[in-house]
Structure 1
Amino acid sequence: MTAGAGAGRTVRDATLGVLRELGLTTLFTNPGSTEIPFLTDLPGDIRLVLALHEGSVVGMATGWAIARDRPALVQLHTTAGLGNAVGALATARVNRAPLVVLVGQQDRRHLATEPFLAGRLRGLAGDYPVAVDEPATARDVPGAVARAHHAAVHGRGPALVIVPVDDWARPAAEGAERAAASRVAYGTAADPAGPAEIAAIIDAAASPALVAGAGNDTDDGWAALVALAERIGAPVHQESFGARAGFPQDHPLFAGILPADRPGLRAALAGHDAVIAVGAPVFRQYMFSAGPLAEPGTRLALLTDDPAEAHRSPVELAVLAPIPAALRSVAERVSARATRPSVQGAAPTEEPAPPDEAGPLLPAHVFAALAQRTSQDTVIVEETPSSRPDLHRLLPARRPLGFLSAAMGGLGFALPAAIGVRMARPGRPVIAVVGDGASLYQIQALWSAAHYRVGVLVAVLSNGRYAVMDRLAESAGGKPSWPPFEEVSVSAVARGLGCPAQRVATHAELTAALDAILPALHDRSDPMLLDIAVATDPAFHP
């Protein structure tokens, strides 16, 4: 793969050639002066997607990369842009989203004097990038971009290339080798030894259980894990705080979401003498609590394609391999079991009774209404911490990529990510379900959705407060020191950004709005925001 440098070709020309060869022709950005030489007069085959804040830039690119299962291209503006994007880059890393990130830098010719906008960029994003490259010369930039693509794919995260502003106009190298492989082949065959050991652990167990994680959210992964679960008659739990669903949540063997505390985890896994996690960490926690993850005598094993996940998980055996192929290998080796367990999570979900006109609208009412009207291929992008358990209970993921959330836990992911997913998968309906507090972290992304006519539905659960924080304070025996923000109108902000919006205050208004929007959501070409007034569920406990 060559950039094809010829007479008069610049580093920008050569880099554009590399981007075309790598399929990186959609660029998410919020530009500044250090990006002008690259972005001005872009060729017609390079699509620029503007966002109004770098968190939205990276969030949209993350959704795009996840939905397309290939790297997305981002360009950020020196220290200010990269600094604003660090939280979103952290989320991209933990969500395993491959991003190639160009970061602008001041002119090489006076960097030594630290001019205005010069950035100390290496290390600014901490350890969250999977690679950071500062090309030694301008001519090294095209190769650095190609290497960043390889790093993003292999490392499953953002790879940064820092490019001084004057590099783009420099002459491209002629006749020089580009220091990057034309193609990197990643192994697809699982070593039989690891799956054989997992099969042996399962066969030796009286009551095995499985745990599905975000790393198994592919068509092949779902099919392979369903086949294994049905062969051994094992319940399948979903990892806690999972960014994606790794198993169909309407399957009879689905046993629900694991608790994120050790006592709850031990109770959920009690009675199982072997637990095999698939594409999930072992086991993700929230608040610290003492004691082991599982009862003594329970054997823990992990199958993953993430080296960091394999290295840090406290298990008897971690198998690092391509997940679907390894699952099929385990299923071929394990002994079939005739009986199936009684799975608590497989019981029919009880929907909440609709409120009367005077009663409060709860998040569960919203989720039940969505569940009655959404198709199986709908993508739900979630960021509503205080009502997430109800969402899982009432709105299960029924297809791969049916559920997406921020693995990192920080707010501001769901709204731009939903826009990126819809841009990448225009044939699938996409609904962002967010709290009003969460929506305000990247509300600017609505402008991009409106400007580029991205037909995503944003359902905002508006209670005028950070409900999860209030309850955490109460559970600690105190009361919040922060005020509510009931005067904020998310629908008014949305309309100010050019996005159509509707305020919903009653159950009748909710069902009427959903009946009007959802049947045509597959083909919708404009965003819509529903600002839904809800009360905090008194039964909720974080």
Structure 2
Amino acid sequence: MPSVRDVTFELLRRLDLTVVVGNPGSTEETFLKDFPADFTYVLALQESSVIGIADGLAQGLKKPVLVNVHTGAGMGNAMGCILTAYLNKTPLIITAGQQTREMLLGEPFLTNTEETVLPKPWVKWSYEPKRPQDVPGAFMRAYAMAVQQPTGPVFLSLPLDDWDKEMDARDVLRSVSTRHAPDPARLEDFAARIRASHNPVLVYGGDLSRSQAWEAGIAFAEALQAPVWLGPFTECVPFPGNHPLYAGVLPPAVGPLGQALSGHDLVVVVGAPVFRYYPWVAGEILPAGTKLLQIIDDPYEAAKSVAGDSLVADSLLALEALLPLVGSRPVRGPVRQNAPVAAVPDDAPLPLTPGQIFAVLSESAPADVIVVNESPSNMRDLAGTSLGVVTRPHSSYVMASGGLGWGMPAAVGLAMAEARTGRNRPVVAVIGDGSFQYSLQSIWTGVQHGAHVVFVVLRNEQYGILKAFARLEETPGVPGLDLPGLDIVSLGKGYGAATAKAAAPIEIRAAFAKALAFKGVSVIEIATDKHISDLIPK
């Protein structure tokens, strides 16, 4: 008679869940015992990195990834990146060991007390099987929950003594639908309101990327000849930044965002929340007389929208259904004129500004590069250069949560996905010197797996984004915002990465070219000036 392990691992094979990202503990070793040769175990050195790597890997592979961390202690370490994975809508099946069932009543050492409560509300489903023989079925249900829209992480707590128990060889494999089609009546209503609009504007979000709607999003915008904004904090850019209809990224504050939409009688939001705000800047949510329509795959997001009428549906299916109903409009000119980025002379005063650094990197960045950004104070500077202008689908990623520590492991996971799929696009992760400290252990995992990642670390010796908040919030004298004495090169070298320190344009060009050619993990430390930009542009 097969064991719970036998039946479970056979199910995982059939679900194509043969990659496990983890950091093992004593309560997980019974799951990992005699680890099958046809499975891959990706070791990360801390649970936050475990989740971040799995997140990037799942986004790159476009399918769920299996995660294994150590009971309640490991889940505690992982929670920050679990929150991010939930807001990123990344399908992860997160597992943690639980103590032996026979001892659970007395809550022995390393018991995961209230195990299903711990990860909430940042998982779609949380469960501990009631008996060992339910473990395979729990994995099947977890998979079904993870892949149904809105996709996202789920959690299973697994007692360590379940795996060797005998059970019938039951086949629990089943399939589920992964897309929501739009309601036809609601769709026709939306189409009629779009046709009646005199000057519509579009706001796109990460759902378009997840639903493979890049081309459909372009076709819809061109049919309406409507400007396309990205919603604030869009985690995966779904529209080309070099398109004539691209308008930019909406500011993440009520007043400025409403002002950006002025002159439009209808706002059509596709695949994005309405809206991600922070900080508080007073104003009108929408200009007077402006109406809003939202298409989102998440009923919760639709319910909490601060304005407008919502349609719950998959972005691709909704756009494909709307396109023949909305007609087409005369071609307009470009919605904005981008000033050319000035070349940076070799004798430019040092330290360079972030914009100058990104301009230098842009000179030799490959056209197919994937960019991960976790340098919050420098996002606008990056967007103003060709390195930051997204021209291809699935090539730009940030975290949807605002929680630092996701970018570095996610970049490693994305690079591993590139290798596994054979696309082999290089990953360039722009990381602040403060952000670098949160999950730097992920460098080691990248080195061990030969991931092609270039970490460009901007060293301004401060939490620049927090100083910008302090200016906006009029809170002078806040302690803990300066970061002197960090040696980025030594930290990267300690985990096995190729490292370099650069300051002048010629040094940056040489270090970046070497890192792109290396095909492994590189860390480039670049000193930047300490100027603090306004949080919300005036």
What TM-score results when the alignment is normalised by the length of structure 1?
0.93
The residue aligned with 2:233 is 241
8 A contact 1:31–1:76 mirrored in 2: yes
Alignment of 1:358-377 (within 5 A): 358-377=349-368
Report % sequence identity.
37
The partner residue of 2:126 within 132, 135, 142 is: 132
**How far did 1:70 drift?**
0.8
8 A contact 1:474–1:480 mirrored in 2: no
| Structure-2 separation of matches of 1:467 and 1:219 | 35
Q: Secondary structure at the match of 1:411?
A: coil
Alignment of 1:515-530 (within 5 A): 515-518=513-516, 520=517, 524=519, 526-530=520-524
8 A contact 1:233–1:341 mirrored in 2: no
**How far did 1:470 drift?**
2.0
Q: Secondary structure at the match of 1:33?
A: coil
Q: Which amino acid aligns with 1:41?
A: D
Q: Which amino acid aligns with 1:382?
A: N
Q: Deviations over 1:156-192 (max 9, x none)?
A: 1111111111111211x216x56x5511134564443
**2:377 is the alignment partner of 1:386:** yes
Q: Deviations over 1:10-36 (max 9, x none)?
A: 211211111111111010001100011
| Structure-2 separation of matches of 1:232 and 1:357 | 44
Moved more, 445-454 or 470-479: 470-479
| Structure-2 separation of matches of 1:51 and 1:289 | 40
8 A contact 2:351–2:528 mirrored in 1: yes
**2:92 is the alignment partner of 1:99:** yes
**2:117 is the alignment partner of 1:119:** no
| Structure-2 separation of matches of 1:294 and 1:52 | 46
Q: Secondary structure at the match of 1:425?
A: helix
**2:434 is the alignment partner of 1:440:** no
8 A contact 2:258–2:283 mirrored in 1: no
8 A contact 2:211–2:316 mirrored in 1: no
**2:64 is the alignment partner of 1:71:** yes
Number of equivalenced pairs: 527
The residue aligned with 1:428 is 425
8 A contact 1:262–1:292 mirrored in 2: yes
Q: Deviations over 1:76-96 (max 9, x none)?
A: 110110111011111000000
| Structure-2 separation of matches of 1:298 and 1:513 | 50
| Structure-2 separation of matches of 1:483 and 1:278 | 37
Q: Secondary structure at the match of 1:136?
A: coil
Q: Which amino acid aligns with 1:380?
A: V
Q: Which amino acid aligns with 2:154?
A: A
Q: Secondary structure at the match of 2:248?
A: strand
The verdict on how the C-alpha distance between 1:193 and 1:377 changes in structure 2, with shifts beyond 3 A counting, is farther
Q: Secondary structure at the match of 2:37?
A: coil
The verdict on how the C-alpha distance between 1:101 and 1:539 changes in structure 2, with shifts beyond 3 A counting, is closer
Q: Which amino acid aligns with 1:440?
A: Q
8 A contact 2:11–2:136 mirrored in 1: yes
Q: Which amino acid aligns with 2:102?
A: R
Q: Deviations over 1:215-258 (max 9, x none)?
A: 11158411111111111211000111111112111101000000
**2:158 is the alignment partner of 1:163:** yes
The partner residue of 2:44 within 45, 51, 55 is: 51
**2:463 is the alignment partner of 1:466:** yes
**How far did 1:374 drift?**
2.1
8 A contact 1:130–1:159 mirrored in 2: yes
8 A contact 2:341–2:359 mirrored in 1: no
**How far did 1:357 drift?**
4.9
The partner residue of 2:480 within 482, 487, 502 is: 482
The residue aligned with 2:216 is 224
Moved more, 346-355 or 20-29: 346-355
| Structure-2 separation of matches of 1:37 and 1:72 | 20
| Structure-2 separation of matches of 1:219 and 1:123 | 30
**How far did 1:206 drift?**
1.2
**2:391 is the alignment partner of 1:398:** yes
**How far did 1:456 drift?**
1.0
Q: Secondary structure at the match of 1:503?
A: strand
| Structure-2 separation of matches of 1:374 and 1:421 | 17
The residue aligned with 2:185 is 193
The residue aligned with 1:4 is none
**How far did 1:335 drift?**
2.6
Q: Secondary structure at the match of 1:126?
A: coil
Moved over 6 A (4+): none
Q: Secondary structure at the match of 1:324?
A: helix
What TM-score results when the alignment is normalised by the length of structure 2?
0.94
Q: Which amino acid aligns with 1:130?
A: K
**How far did 1:325 drift?**
2.2
**2:484 is the alignment partner of 1:491:** no
Any unmatched runs of 5+ in structure 2?
Answer: none
Q: Secondary structure at the match of 1:276?
A: strand
Moved more, 195-204 or 499-508: 195-204
| Structure-2 separation of matches of 1:407 and 1:95 | 6
The residue aligned with 1:208 is 200
Q: Secondary structure at the match of 2:413?
A: helix
**2:258 is the alignment partner of 1:266:** yes
8 A contact 1:378–1:402 mirrored in 2: yes
| Structure-2 separation of matches of 1:465 and 1:250 | 32
| Structure-2 separation of matches of 1:399 and 1:528 | 24
The partner residue of 1:513 within 511, 514, 533 is: 511
8 A contact 2:468–2:533 mirrored in 1: no
| Structure-1 separation of matches of 2:273 and 2:481 | 36
| Structure-1 separation of matches of 2:352 and 2:359 | 12
| Structure-2 separation of matches of 1:475 and 1:257 | 20
| Structure-1 separation of matches of 2:144 and 2:390 | 31
Moved more, 324-333 or 97-106: 324-333
The verdict on how the C-alpha distance between 1:468 and 1:188 changes in structure 2, with shifts beyond 3 A counting, is closer
The residue aligned with 1:500 is 498
| Structure-2 separation of matches of 1:89 and 1:64 | 14
The partner residue of 1:535 within 521, 529, 532 is: 529
**How far did 1:328 drift?**
2.0
8 A contact 1:147–1:181 mirrored in 2: no
Q: Which amino acid aligns with 1:23?
A: D
| Structure-1 separation of matches of 2:304 and 2:78 | 27
8 A contact 1:502–1:529 mirrored in 2: yes
The residue aligned with 2:81 is 88
The verdict on how the C-alpha distance between 1:363 and 1:326 changes in structure 2, with shifts beyond 3 A counting, is same
| Structure-2 separation of matches of 1:277 and 1:389 | 22
Q: Which amino acid aligns with 2:218?
A: V
